[in-house]
Amino acid sequence: MFVKPEPASALFAGPFALATLSAPDGPAFPALVTPDARVLDLRAAFERPELTVRAVLEDWAAALPRLRALAGDDGQDRERLDGFRVHAPVEPRQVFQSGANYRRHVIDLHVAHRAPGDDRPDDVRRAEAAEIMDRRAAEDLPYVFIGLPSAITGPYDDVVLPAWAEKPDWELELAVVIGRPAHRVPVEEALEHVAGYTIANDLTDRTTVFRRDMPQIGTDWLRSKNAPGFTPLGPWIVPAESIADPGDLRVTLKLNGETMQDESTKDMIFDVARMVSYASQTARLLPGDLVLTGSPSGNGMHWGRLLRDGDVMDGTVTGLGAQRTRCVAETP
């Protein structure tokens, strides 16, 4: 496990957030964390020894007032956060991922991701990407696919780069956490099903995005995105009521201290409500599920610099805290 960054001020926006923590050699447990880095074990507070963060989300309407009261009760016995390990905040049953949802990002990727046999100049391919994106926005059809919960790891854990991954890349994203089941919900009601938000780094191996043996079938997200640990998540779930506008948050990733991604969620083509609504038209979204909203421009393909052994990624999203992960090459 890598060393988590020291908080410069409040850990996150609002009076509390949810986390999954563990003491040294102890089991993971759901916790209420306050911005001053204090921890309350929710198993004791809810008098449920088997409680998990996902169980809290499954009864979100009833749990939220209790969490507000606990956060405001200064008489509660709280421990210091620095004595605990921070895990991914929730174990989702389903992960819905979005591609090509930031205007600048999709243009950069389209130019960098040259399909086999495509010899057109970059300016032609860039214009093509802009046209495709404009058409998608007009038709209101986000691009959503399925990720695996087994790819999730903690916000401060090491990320193992598989030996077969020739071009591992970063993609920092705003992640939506579902709090109420959602199926075929209209855009106008979609945010009512959102419990909160967290940070996800949706790593991708660029060499395996397209199947070279069968280019006609398109993208291979299983191979390129779902290696164990390829989705660092967290550190916290910040309730939606503490985030004034998810469409106006800064998404920033630094590689070894150098800023690579720094973009507002204003650049998203499809906002949170449209993403959640769209995914729910086909699937039934469940409490604790994640909807990743896509990554802004500035990934490794854009810079010509991919991840390698020893790299350290620092990711932040306004009001949601910070994660830090170190890349470690797979041992043969």
What's the one-letter identity of residue 153?
A: T
Given a cut of 60, whether residue 291 has pLDDT beyond it is yes
- CA 168 – CA 172 distance, rounded (Å): 13
What's the one-letter identity of residue 328?
A: V
Q: Do you find a cis peptide bond into 235, omega within 30 degrees of 0?
A: yes
Task: Identify the pLDDT of residue 285.
Answer: 98
Once rounded to an integer, what is the mean pLDDT over residues 75-94?
93
Task: Identify the pLDDT of residue 234.
Answer: 98
Task: Identify the pLDDT of residue 259.
Answer: 98
Domain 95-329 falls in which CATH fold? Fumarylacetoacetate hydrolase; domain 2 (3.90.850)
The continuous run of DSSP H or E covering 316 comes out as strand 312-317
pTM: 0.92
Given a cut of 70, whether residue 58 has pLDDT beyond it is yes
The continuous run of DSSP H or E covering 123 comes out as helix 122-139
pLDDT class of 4 with cuts at 50, 70, 90 = low
Q: Write the pLDDT tens digit of every residue in 210-227.
A: 988 888 888 999 999 999
Determine what percent of the chain is predicted with pLDDT higher than 70.
97
Given a cut of 70, whether residue 9 has pLDDT beyond it is no
The continuous run of DSSP H or E covering 80 comes out as strand 79-80
| Pair 319, 243: CB distance under 8 Å | yes
The continuous run of DSSP H or E covering 239 comes out as strand 238-239
Task: Identify the pLDDT of residue 312.
Answer: 98
Dihedral, 97, 101, 102, 107 alpha carbons, nearest 10: 110
- CA 290 – CA 34 distance, rounded (Å): 23
Other CB atoms closer than 10 Å to residue 228's CB: what's the count? 13
pLDDT class of 65 with cuts at 50, 70, 90 = very high
Once rounded to an integer, what is the mean pLDDT over residues 33-61?
97
Structural domain boundaries in the chain: 17-86, 95-329
Instruction: Decide: helix, strand or coil at residue 77.
Output: coil
